[in-house]
Amino acid sequence: MAHEFSPEAEKLLDAEIKVLDHGFVRLVDYMGNDRRIVQAARVSYGSGTKTFREDAILIDYLLRHQHTSPFEHVVLEFHCKMPIFVARQWIRHRTARINEISGRYSVMTDECYLPPDDQITGQSEDNKQGRDELQVPPELRKKVLDILRRDQGNVYASYKELINDGIARELARINLPLSLYTQWYWQMDLHNLFHFLELRMDPHAQWEIRQYADAIAKITSAVAPAAYDAFQRHRLNGHHFSSEEIEVIRGLLRGEENRLTGLKRKEFDSKLFGKTSEPEAVP
């Protein structure tokens, strides 16, 4: 099967999309596009005789009904640079193929992440694993940045001192902070990539990894625009309702009261009415 090109994706090949202060996402290569999804679904070869509109309708049907295997025939490979704490969240998506820079072989560069001023907030009272939306006072934000900058500089200086003393790189690196930048090549099929984006573009995901997800989404939409459009409508901006919630909806249509309470009520209201109440952390 000949390689099928996506014109907008070709423009993005090898172009760095800047993320955070020192990071980036770069499309290295891709295999397949919307046409490949259609071919896999129809188990056919060549360009076929279907129109783009007909292909888009089929792709929408496949995603809407969770027929996911045709999406696995589209593969994207990225070169990404991110802080280690972001990488540790990212690596939880285990269906990818990853090759990361090794501090055993390479001397790590003096690049650590410092959050932008407007992202320095307190701990959320509702979400035990997230930030509050309200900023802390300016003097406290400055203190946070001063502490981060000071500690990052001290730890990296100690690291270089050990390197210069001839200590093994695999030992010298062990005190380096989570804010240090790492890099990897990351390859994933479109089905699993949509799952990554659904979780990491969610407003409750950490702000830093959302910036990477947004950059990857831009690239993904260029590779397979019809598939990404269907993903946006049915998964990213859509909602799944449990059988209990469906019964509540039926009751509301009959003029009955909503019998859900507590966290279930908050989640239901958020789905149905767009309320932005923070969910409680789940163990």
> Which residues, other chains included, contact 56 with Cβ-Cβ below 8 Å and sequence gap of 6+?
34, 226, 229, 230
Question: Has residue 74 been placed in a domain?
Answer: yes
Question: Has residue 128 been placed in a domain?
Answer: yes
> Which residues, other chains included, contact 84 with Cβ-Cβ below 8 Å and sequence gap of 6+?
176, 177, 178, 179, 180, 181, 182
| pLDDT score at 59 | 94
| pLDDT score at 53 | 82
Same domain, yes or no: 215 and 153 = no
Alpha carbons 145 and 141: distance in angstroms, whole number: 6
Identify the active-site residue in 131, 169, 200, 265: 200
Element (H, E) at 250: helix 243-253
Distances (CA, A) of 165 to 38, 89, 168, 171, 172: 59, 33, 9, 12, 10
Mean local confidence (pLDDT), 139-147: 95
**Last residue of one domain, picked from the residues 127, 149, 175:** 175
Same domain, yes or no: 70 and 188 = yes
Per-residue pLDDT reduced to its tens digit, 66-115: 999 999 999 999 999 999 999 999 999 989 999 999 999 999 999 999 99
**Domain boundaries, position 121:** 117-175
CA 58 from chain center: how many Å? 26
Least-confidence region, from 61-75, 150-164, 214-228, 251-265: 251-265
**Last residue of one domain, picked from the residues 175, 197, 215:** 175
Per-residue pLDDT reduced to its tens digit, 54-75: 899 999 999 999 999 999 999 9
Q: Are 243 and 249 in contact (CB under 8 A)?
A: no
Q: Tell whether the model's pLDDT for residue 277 goes beyond 50.
A: no
> Which residues, other chains included, contact 48 with Cβ-Cβ below 8 Å and sequence gap of 6+?
38, 39, 42
Alpha carbons 98 and 120: distance in angstroms, whole number: 31
Active site residue 92: no
Residue matched to tokens 């950059």? 215
Mean local confidence (pLDDT), 241-263: 89
Same domain, yes or no: 121 and 90 = no
pLDDT tier for residue 127 given thresholds of 50, 70 and 90:
low
| pLDDT score at 279 | 41
- Measure the CA angle with vertex 123, ends 118 and 127; round to 5°: 115
